[in-house]
Amino acid sequence: MKIIVCIKQVPDTTRVEIDPKTNTLIREGVESILNPLDTFAVEAALSIRDRLGGTAVALTMGPPQADRILREAIALGVDDGALVSGREFAGSDTWSTSYALARAIEALGPCDLILCGKQAIDGDTGQVGPELAVHLGMPQATYVRRFREVSPTSIVVERLTDRGFEVLRVPLPAVVTVVKELNEPRLPNLLDLHRGRFAELKRLDCKAIKADPEEIGLEGSPTRVVRIFSPESRRGGRLYEHDVDAGIEEIVRFIEKKGLL
Amino acid sequence: MNRLRIDHDNCTLCELCIAGCPFEAIEVAGGRIVVNEKCTLCGACLEQCPAGALSIREKRGARRDDTGDFEGVWVFGEVAGGDVHPVVFELIGKGRELADRRGTTLSVILLGASLDMPVAALRGCPLDRICVVEDPLLARFRSETYAAALAELVEQERPEILLCGATSMGRSFFPRAAALLKTGLTADCTGLDIDEQEGLLLQTRPAFGGNIMATIICPRHRPQMATVRPKVLSPLAQRKGNDVRVVRLAPSAAAVASPVEVLEVCVEQADTARVAEADVIVAGGRGVGSPEGFQVIRDLARALRGAVGASRAAVDAGWMGYQHQVGQTGQTVQPKLYIACGISGAVQHLVGMQSAGTIIAVNKDPRAPIFRVADFGLVGDLHVILPRLTESIARKRGERRP
């Protein structure tokens, strides 16, 4: 079985803040990390490969230094890493990102299962997985929390819905996006980290993946960001420390006023 | 050559662009501003530059739809458990406004097997048309068939704007539809507007965990597609009883064919679990102390007809299920009222709930970071405070309805 796990390098958004004076992003000390939600997809790829045999390949698109997350995935146990990179990909939105990833997956040869995290913590769109499935002509299962069965030809999965869950049988190849509930990602040891650091990576540019230059990067992206601004920042309100009862009264009044009673 | 261009004649070297770049892609070298390979063309720096010295170069002749050929605003009418999802009424309110400003019509699109009940529920709404696409193979939601059936209809009728709730269903099949239609999609919008000059849909959404807001357009492709978070738009104020035209359409056999089989659909969650749909969420964290401790959280949630949320700590400890988890690795929620109990307020939690209308925090530690975002803070033991709050709410309600 050949599994491809799509991962993304993201700024550690928990550390991105806006300077209230200059209204700009404070980027000091903000490092780039493997998208935390992708760690569950990597773990799923490894555990399925370990059970059924075959290979697991990590794929990402990004600037040259995104190779770090591929090395991290290799340290965790994936067999190979592929980086789609080049200036021509800059400015890609979800449509052209998924297009480029689809072409890269085709360039890597036939595969059985494609895994993604449910979304990335910088964009939070969750769109690349389903769009990738369309570009590859594959069915999909999103928000998967459990693999009930995995065979070389199909999977049976539980996927979360807003009100519970559904059980789907999906023929392979397919695209699956996963949630945290699925597993507990393993940690690499020192030896693994060393292996990751010196692993040979596949580097793919527009030509190598046979992408149409008009469909990638800014040109290929239907959407444009026209404005970025900081949300109205929240400020702490009144703290009731020794007069909690007064606070409770105030809160009940507020809840009534808001029509939530 | 990088497509981010710097007009060095106008650049004052103020370095605000450097501060504004989320990717460390701009630096000073040889006494001028330069762009390195980390640039993703996100455009964040353009806003920052007071001299207007930055621009992104677009190549000419890129593919475009004949945008003038598309007309009408469509809302996808999600049906959940036989009922029209509440977000649909919110979208109809906004959709009406957008359609009026564009001088065009508003339609709701329903997909399913037997849709008489949803049609009846929508009849009184300020709509021009309800499109009913019925087929036995659409009885159960599958991303493949819903996306294909919707895309097919869009290709026939060519609407200019297409909206859907950012629910689990919407977030699963709308991206498929956008990919099939080769158009842009903006996820999880919290604001929609029409640009006065070009008539484009301005789609505003949080990014970077709610730390920044971005406004996005889809200038050259149609339809302009967006998913919108439930509970963010105001619900439809009045449902006028005008006569809505109902059009029934059959999808093609190819559109409703999918190799995916739905083996089971389990509606296992009580109302208290549906954090994505709740007006009020009462959430517990490490400070709750035990699974039994969540009883006071549940009691307050019930009193407010809200849902129960949990921090990652409480979920990882096994006190609550994952579907309750709010935060970076759980769900992002935007209820009208969020009550955080025994949650210290780690950034990973804050990014999942800081867009809530009002935040109330209950915590023993007056220095807990959660108080910095809370509109009301109560310092003390939640096991003492919450029962009193629940009781006060019950009493108040009793006074109102004697």
Give residue-wise pLDDT tens across range B78-90.
Answer: 998 889 999 999 9
Instruction: Clarify whether residues B210 and B284 are in a common domain.
Output: no
> Residue A245 domain-assigned?
no
Name all contacts of B202-208 with Cβ < 8 Å and 24+ positions apart: B202/A226, B206/A124, B206/A231, B206/B355, B207/A122, B207/A123, B207/A124, B208/A11, B208/A13, B208/A16, B208/A122, B208/B22
Q: Residue B229: what are its φ and ψ, rounded to 5°?
A: -65, 135
- CATH number for position A26: 3.40.50.620
pLDDT tier at B62 (50, 70, 90 boundaries)?
Answer: very low
Q: Which domain holds residue B38?
A: 4-56
Task: Specify whether the CB–CB gap between B77 and B110 falls below 8 A.
Answer: yes
Instruction: Clarify whether residues B322 and B391 are in a common domain.
Output: yes
Mean predicted confidence (pLDDT) in B320-335: 90
> Residue B94 domain-assigned?
yes
Contact list in A for residue B144 (CB cut-off 8 A) is 139-140
Asked whether the predicted pLDDT for residue B147 surpasses 80, the reply is yes
Mean predicted confidence (pLDDT) in B199-207: 93
Contact list in A for residue B3 (CB cut-off 8 A) is 87, 90-91, 218
> Residue B118 domain-assigned?
yes
> Residue B254 domain-assigned?
no
State pLDDT tens for residues B223-235.
999 999 888 888 7
> Residue A235 domain-assigned?
no
Res B241: pLDDT: 57
Note whether B214 contacts A225, CB cutoff 8 Å: yes
Instruction: Clarify whether residues B81 and B52 are in a common domain.
Output: no
Instruction: Clarify whether residues B40 and B96 are in a common domain.
Output: no
Return the half-sphere exposure (C-beta side, CA atoms, 13 A cut-off) of residue B377. Answer: 24
> Residue B205 domain-assigned?
yes
Q: Which of B215, B249, B283 is the last residue of a domain?
A: B249
Task: Specify whether the CB–CB gap between B210 and A231 falls below 8 A.
Answer: yes
- pTM of the full predicted structure? 0.87
- CATH number for position B319: 3.40.50.1220
> Residue B263 domain-assigned?
no
> Residue A60 domain-assigned?
yes
Asked whether the predicted pLDDT for residue A36 surpasses 70, the reply is yes
Res B370: pLDDT: 95
If you measure CA to CA, which chain A residue comes closest to B207?
A123
Structure tokens at B93: 């309110």
pLDDT tier at B206 (50, 70, 90 boundaries)?
Answer: confident
State pLDDT tens for residues B13-49.
898 888 888 778 888 888 888 888 778 787 778 878 8
If you measure CA to CA, which chain A residue comes closest to B379?
A241
Note whether A227 contacts B351, CB cutoff 8 Å: no
pLDDT tier at A235 (50, 70, 90 boundaries)?
Answer: confident
| DSSP notation for B26-85 | EEEETTEEEE-TT-----HHHHH-TT--EEEPPPTT-----GGG---EEEE--EETTEE-
A139 → closest Cβ in B3, B19, B259:
B259
Instruction: Clarify whether residues B112 and B245 are in a common domain.
Output: yes
| H-only helix segments in B213-307 | 294-303
Asked whether the predicted pLDDT for residue B320 surpasses 80, the reply is yes
- CATH number for position B51: 3.30.70.20
Helices B143-157 and A128-136: crossing angle in degrees, nearest 10, is 80
The answer for A 98-127 residues in CB contact with B (under 8 A) is 98, 121-127
- Structure ipTM: 0.92
Mean pLDDT of chain A: 92
Mean predicted confidence (pLDDT) in B358-385: 96
What per-residue string of b and e applies to B340-359 under the rule 16 or more CB within 10 Å gives b?
bbbbbbbbbbbbbbbbbbbb
Contact list in B for residue A140 (CB cut-off 8 A) is 143-144, 172, 176
* For testing contact with chain A, the best of B48, B195, B260 (most A CBs within 10 A): B260
B117 C-beta neighbours (distance < 10 Å), count = 13
Instruction: Clarify whether residues B26 and B112 are in a common domain.
Output: no
Total domains, chain B? 3
Contact list in B for residue A172 (CB cut-off 8 A) is none
Total domains, chain A? 1
> Residue A246 domain-assigned?
no
Asked whether the predicted pLDDT for residue B347 surpasses 90, the reply is no
Q: Which of B218, B249, B280 is the last residue of a domain?
A: B249
Contact list in A for residue B47 (CB cut-off 8 A) is 227-229
Res A226: pLDDT: 87
> Residue A94 domain-assigned?
yes
Res B239: pLDDT: 63
Asked whether the predicted pLDDT for residue B273 surpasses 80, the reply is no
Instruction: Clarify whether residues B138 and B226 are in a common domain.
Output: yes
A222 → closest Cβ in B210, B221, B329:
B221
Q: Which domain holds residue A174?
A: 2-220
Asked whether the predicted pLDDT for residue A199 surpasses 50, the reply is yes
Q: Is A141 on the interface with B (CB under 8 A)?
A: yes
State pLDDT tens for residues A7-23.
999 988 666 665 655 55
* For testing contact with chain A, the best of B185, B272, B362 (most A CBs within 10 A): B185
